[in-house]
Chain A
Amino acid sequence: MADQNKTDTDSKFYNEVLSPSELFAARSRSHKIPVRGQKDFFPDDSDEQRQRLEQSLNEHWSLISEERVEKLGNLVKATWIPSENIVELQSPAGKFWQTMGFSAGGKQFLFPEEALYLMECGNVQVFYQELPLSIQDGYETFLYSSTLRLQEYQVFGHLKRLGYLVHRFHPSSETSSYAKQLNLPQSRDRAGKQLKRKRSASPIATSSHTEAQEESTADRMEEDTCGQEGQEDKKLPESHLTISPETSSTQTATASPGNKGGVRTWWMLDDVGERSDHQPASAASRWDFSSISFPDLGSSRERLSSCLVSPDPSLLPGALAVGVCDVDPWRTRINLRDVKMSSKEQMREEEKRRHRSDKDREVRRCSNWAEYRQLMERRQGRRSKGRATHLWDGEVTPLHDPRQPIPTGELLDKISVIKSTHLLEGASRLQASDEWRISFNVYQPDTVADFKKSNPGKPYTRMCVCRCFGDPQYRRLPSTERGMVTRRRLCLLGSKRRLANHLCRRRICSNPSGTTSFDGPVPDLRAIKQLAFQSGDVPVVFAVVDYGDISFYTFKDFQLPTDVFP
């Protein structure tokens, strides 16, 4: 090997430019990779082994030294625009355009990582100042720690080579934390996209009623505006069909209690919105209707004044003014007739009422809430007599009254002092940090066929490339501050303190010029929470680059199962 070096280093040491005849010959070269044989266990200085090693090395170097040669006609020409950190295409894009790049102002652009990857694949030739950039130029000009780190590109390239679709993650494209707190319906185009895919898979299923009900009306409206000409006519009547029962039911539901003139339409809208969200349960939890009182218009016994006072303006949104509401026109629209009951039913009613009043005579005697509460306390005390009442006397009481029978599961839940929390709990309050950010959206390879850049849909995962300790960004901090960072992290980790301590120690004394992120920090709970919240329902995967090796790991919410026999 070395001898070979000596002979040809002198002649063409750094000269890796191919001559025209070499270029021409390269057009018909093989695309196979030699198979690696079984490795030996230990070098025994045998000729046989030496020969095998030499052969492997020769194969290795022939692979490594091979230069990319492409036909000019197959290359897409592009130019590097350093001011924008972007690559502009000069000739029509190739097949890659389906999954990469973006257009703006009538021009086609590639992000640096995409351009570099395509350069490495031999699809794009990037020029700067009229000169073609080598792969080395590409690495050195495109990859810069402030914009795109080498490690990020390593992860990008690794995933791309595996066939995944990898796109930059833009925090703005995600629903803001404010929108999440408001529990707004999720981005509609996304749901619509999934719908389309479903449809293409089984066209007959669309007409089935159950699915039609699942489809949100909002989605459909969105799709209609998108202009799916072929399906539009077919879909519209169908959507009316599903909308009408919903709206009618909401009308009947809201007309009787909600008599506040202008408010009515809001309720209705809200109701529809809830339905389109597919999660009535969570939406309902926002409104505790038992605590919102509605005037009982139908009651004939206690006549209300014919006018309702205007609501408290502090409860109304901004510019809205709601005046006094006249109830009479509404009253004419509802059924005010008394319920006619048979004598038997009447008797039963009477019985019930008497029973209730008997039982609650004491309650009736109470003139205000304080008295009522005292009464209830007294009753409670009487009931728990003889059952270690003193336990209930103090401020600290047992978690459960043994006389109240509840299922074991609930009981376990009730008496658990430390409640388990979810990953997303309290995450909305966390501020985004610079240290941890999501770099890429990753889509699975099998979605390539119907992938649309304009409407990419929900990613398979989101990728966070771990920073390493030797990172220039990190190194810029003075050493004292570095200590601060680690200490803060320590506090946050709490129970994981030992591990963190260990890791921090390693980190502090690791080589600052090292490029492995194995020496870098492990994301703390705060970072995990924050990223998980930012990512929504898409899992966040952390990529760790150790020189050539890339490892991926992810944190998952885990609920300890409680094994309860019913």
Chain B
Amino acid sequence: MMDHKASVPAQTEGMEQGPPQVLEISDSAPPQVLGVSDSAPPHVVGVSRCDSAPLLWRDQDLKAVRGRGLVGALLGALPRTPRQNGRLGRPLLLLPEEERLLTELHATANANQGGGGVQLSLQVKQHLEEQERSLEEQRVLALQDRKSALLHAMTSSHTGSLGPSEALRGRLEALHRSFTFPRGAMAVQLSTARAGLHHCHEDRAFLRAQQPITAQHDSKAAARYQVFRDLRGQGFYLTSAGKFGGDFLVYPGDPLRFHAHFIAVVLSLDSSLSPLDVLAIARLGSNVKKTVLLCSPGGVQYPGGAGGVQYTSLQWSGMV
């Protein structure tokens, strides 16, 4: 295991000015375990907790996490077509292993605090002002839209030489005078991620604190994490394999473009496995055309001192 704990985030930028939600860790000891480490932007991901589940909400956080080769699971309805299950949208739920990996890289911050408390009346006032401004701007845009449409229609149909410009001007002025943009037609945004952080200055201090999110890890979780880290370090993409009766599904590349090749089952080296379980998992693996990997951490020692993981693959061999 690498000693990341030593390098505490040295400084935080942008505390006082502008949209200050960025928490940059200047140098967080680029994690060598991760194949993508050099290209991953060193930025802190805001993890918010919902009913104890770690969720990511911000678009940039999602991209950053994917940049590190972590897939997670999307839970929400897709804004574009919300009433279907084929493709889902934000939030992104992290696996405990993914969360722990990010924590060890000091790349997470608890982003749960936010909203309320800070000068509510001011916020409300600001919100209403913004809405009025938006209405006014959208009115202007809508008018422009209509005018250009009219212009287009007039110029394309009116090819006569009889001074179309006067008629056009008259029509445009009439439109300008009579144009109304009802409030109901104004487009409003239903934000996905919380924007309230704008106004809360004390929250930033909170963000700085690096919290160990889960204090105790038992042996099974530790084994799972070791396997996860090892496989990720070798460039594989992992997702949960509950539907395949294993611990992880192992993809050779981004799951968007590749099928999973392995079903990883995490087992400690000294635990016994009943033949029934072996048969069941091997049979299942062959049915879905994936190789079953029994992963036991602690078997091999790498020169660097990090504990390796011993992999055993199961193959269904039919003897005739």
Contact = CB atoms under 8 A, between A and B. Distances in A.
Interface string A7-34: 0011011111110110110110111110
Contact of A17 (B133, B191, B217): B191
Contacts of B164: none
A366 interface: no
A156 to B, nearest CB: 11
A134 B137 contact: no
Contacts of A510: 218, 220-221
Interface string B212-229: 011011111100100000
A160 B76 CA distance: 12
23 contacts: A2-B36, A2-B41, A20-B138, A21-B141, A24-B137, A33-B87, A39-B258, A56-B254, A57-B66, A63-B80, A63-B89, A67-B192, A69-B187, A72-B184, A74-B184, A132-B191, A137-B194, A137-B196, A143-B51, A161-B84, A518-B242, A548-B74, A548-B88
B248 to A, nearest CB: 11
Q: Which of B36, B99, B253 has the most CB of A within 10 A?
A: B253
Contact of A43 (B72, B195, B252): B252
B89 A64 contact: yes
Interface in A105-164: 117, 119-122, 125, 129-132, 134-137, 139-140, 143-145, 149-151, 154, 157-158, 160-163
Interface of B: 19, 21-22, 36, 39-41, 43, 46, 48-53, 55, 57-60, 62-64, 66-67, 72-91, 93, 95-96, 99, 112, 115-116, 120, 123-124, 127, 133-134, 137-138, 141-142, 182-197, 213-214, 216-221, 224, 239-240, 242-243, 252-254, 256-259, 261, 277
Contact of A13 (B22, B53, B80, B188): B22
A513 B214 contact: yes
B67 A2 contact: yes
A276 B192 CA distance: 54
A515 interface: yes
Contacts, number: 302
Contacts of A27: 187
Given A9-B41, A518-B242, A150 B192 contact: no
Contacts of B189: 17-18, 23, 67-69
Contact of B59 (A16, A57, A131): A16
A549 B258 contact: no
Contact of B195 (A17, A161, A470): A17
A511 to B, nearest CB: 4
A494 B201 CA distance: 59
B258 to A, nearest CB: 6
Contact of B19 (A12, A64, A516): A12
Nearest to A544: B242
A73 interface: yes
Contact of B188 (A10, A23, A157, A163): A23
Contacts of B134: 20, 23
Contacts of A194: none
Contacts of B39: 2-3
Nearest to B274: A502
Contact of A73 (B50, B64, B182, B253): B182
Given A121-B82, A472-B52, A514-B96, A548 B73 contact: yes
Contacts of A120: 76-77, 82
Interface of A: 1-3, 5-6, 9-10, 12-18, 20-21, 23-24, 26-27, 29-33, 36, 39-43, 49, 52-53, 56-57, 60-61, 63-75, 117, 119-122, 125, 129-132, 134-137, 139-140, 143-145, 149-151, 154, 157-158, 160-163, 470-472, 502, 506, 509-516, 518, 544, 546-549, 551
Contacts of B190: 67-70, 75, 119, 122, 125, 132, 134-135
Nearest to B95: A547
B183 A15 contact: no
A163 to B, nearest CB: 8
A140 B192 contact: no
Given A6-B41, A125-B190, A150-B51, A57 B256 contact: yes
B58 A16 contact: yes
A547 B93 contact: yes
B67 A516 contact: no
Nearest to B260: A39
A502 B267 CA distance: 13
Given A6-B41, A161-B83, A64 B51 contact: no
B96 A513 contact: yes
A31 B84 CA distance: 12
Contacts of A71: 184-188
Contact of A549 (B51, B91, B224, B242): B242
A29 B252 CA distance: 35
B257 A53 contact: yes
A131 B199 CA distance: 13
B240 A16 contact: no
A154 to B, nearest CB: 6
Contacts of B50: 139-140, 143, 150
Nearest to A34: B87
B16 to A, nearest CB: 16
Given A33-B86, A130-B124, 16 more contacts: A3-B39, A14-B46, A20-B137, A21-B141, A23-B189, A53-B257, A63-B80, A71-B185, A72-B186, A72-B187, A73-B185, A130-B127, A131-B127, A135-B193, A136-B192, A140-B112
Contacts of A16: 58-59, 191-193, 195
A448 B91 CA distance: 29
A112 to B, nearest CB: 12
A408 B85 CA distance: 53
Contacts of B116: 129
A66 B80 contact: yes
Contacts of A32: 80
A162 to B, nearest CB: 6
Contacts of A13: 19, 21-22, 43, 60
Contact of A72 (B75, B183, B240): B183
A515 B52 contact: yes
A40 B260 CA distance: 10
Nearest to B46: A14
A14 B60 contact: yes
B165 to A, nearest CB: 28
Contacts of B217: 511
A50 to B, nearest CB: 10
Q: Which of B51, B53, B72, B79 has the most CB of A within 10 A?
A: B51
B256 A60 contact: yes
A1 B141 contact: no
B142 A24 contact: yes
A183 B239 CA distance: 51
Contacts of B49: 140
Q: Which of A1, A144, A548 has the most CB of B within 10 A?
A: A548
Contacts of B195: 16-17, 134
B59 A40 contact: no
A52 B84 CA distance: 25
Contacts of A63: 78, 80, 87, 89
A14 B138 contact: no
Contacts of B242: 516, 518, 544, 546-547, 549, 551
A36 B120 CA distance: 45
Q: Which of A31, A131, A160 has the most CB of B within 10 A?
A: A131
Nearest to B241: A546
Contacts of B112: 140
A501 to B, nearest CB: 11
Pairs A-B, 4 closest by C-beta atoms:
A73-B184, A546-B242, A548-B73, A511-B221
B216 A66 contact: no
A160 B77 CA distance: 11
